[in-house]
Structure 1
Amino acid sequence: MRTKLFFLLILLSQVASCLSELCHPQDKTTLLQIKKELNNPTILSSWKPNTDCCKMSWYGVTCFRSNNHVRDLTISHDNNLTSKFPLSIGNLPYLESIYFDNLPNLIGPIPIDSISKLLNLKSLTITSTGMSGPIPNFPPHLKNLFNLDLSSNHFSGTLPRYIYKLPKLEMIYFYNNSLTGTIPSSYGYFNNKNLPSLLLSHNHLSGKLPLSLARLNTTVIELSYNNFEGDASMLFGSNKATREIYLTQNMFTLDFGKVELSKTMTTLDVSHNQIYGKLPMGIENISWLNVSYNRLCGKIPKGGNMNKFGVGSFLHNKCLCGCPLPKCK
Structure 2
Amino acid sequence: MDPEKGQTTRSTVLNCKQISINTTIKISQYTSHMLPKMKPSLVSILSFSLLIFVSTSLSERCNPNDKKALLEIKKALGNPRDLITWDPKTDCCDEWAQSTLSCDDNTNRVTSLSLIRIQDAGYLSPTIGDLSYLQHLDITKMYNLSGPIPLTIAKLTNLAFLRITQTNISGPIPEFLGTKLQSLTHIDLSDNNLVGTIPPSPSQLSNLSYLRLDRNNLTGTIPESFGKLAPKLEFLYLGRNKLSGVVPRSFTGWSFETLDLSANKLEGDISFLFGEDSNTFQLYLSRNKFEFDFSKLKFGEKLVSLKLNHNNIYGDFPAGFASRPWQEFNVSYNNLCGRIPQGGYMIRFDMYSYIHNKCLCDYPLPPCKSS
Same fold (TM over 0.5): yes
How far apart, CA to CA, are the structure 2 residues paired with 1:318 and 1:111? Answer: 50
1:264 CA displacement: 0.7
Q: TM-score, normalised by structure 2?
A: 0.82
Partner residue, 2:200: 161
User: Unaligned stretches of 5+ in structure 2?
Assistant: 1-34
Deviations 1:163-209 (A, max 9, x none): 1101211111111111111111111111x523221111111111111
Task: Count the aligned residue pairs.
Answer: 326
Is the counterpart of residue 38 in structure 1 residue 64 in structure 2?
Answer: no
Partner residue, 2:148: 109
Does 24-33 or 251-260 show the bigger shift? 24-33
Match of 2:330 among 287, 290, 302: 290
1:18 CA displacement: 2.8
Deviations 1:69-122 (A, max 9, x none): 11211112233222x32111111111111111222332222123x111111111
Partner residue, 1:183: 222
Larger radius of gyration: 2
Is the counterpart of residue 235 in structure 1 residue 273 in structure 2?
Answer: yes
1:130 CA displacement: 1.5
Match of 2:252 among 209, 214, 219: 214
SS at match of 1:23: coil
Higher strand share: 1
Is the counterpart of residue 310 in structure 1 residue 355 in structure 2?
Answer: no
Asked whether the 8 Å contact 1:64–1:71 carries over to 2, the reply is yes
Partner residue, 1:122: 160
Identity %: 41
1:296 CA displacement: 1.1
SS at match of 1:99: strand
Residues 282/42 of structure 1: CA separation in 2 closer, same or farther (3 Å cut): farther
Asked whether the 8 Å contact 1:116–1:139 carries over to 2, the reply is no
Partner residue, 2:182: 143
1:294 CA displacement: 0.7
Deviations 1:6-36 (A, max 9, x none): 4244223322223223322321122112222
Match of 1:51 among 90, 96, 104: 90
Asked whether the 8 Å contact 2:155–2:180 carries over to 1, the reply is no
Match of 2:104 among 45, 64, 88: 64
Deviations 1:259-287 (A, max 9, x none): 22121111111001100112234533112
* Mapping 1:65-104, distance limit 5 Å: 65-82=105-122, 84-104=123-143
Partner residue, 2:3: none
Match of 2:61 among 8, 15, 22: 22
Asked whether the 8 Å contact 2:80–2:121 carries over to 1, the reply is yes
How far apart, CA to CA, are the structure 2 residues paired with 1:61 and 1:281? Answer: 54
Deviations 1:24-61 (A, max 9, x none): 23211221122223332332222111111112545512
One-letter code aligned to 1:315: I
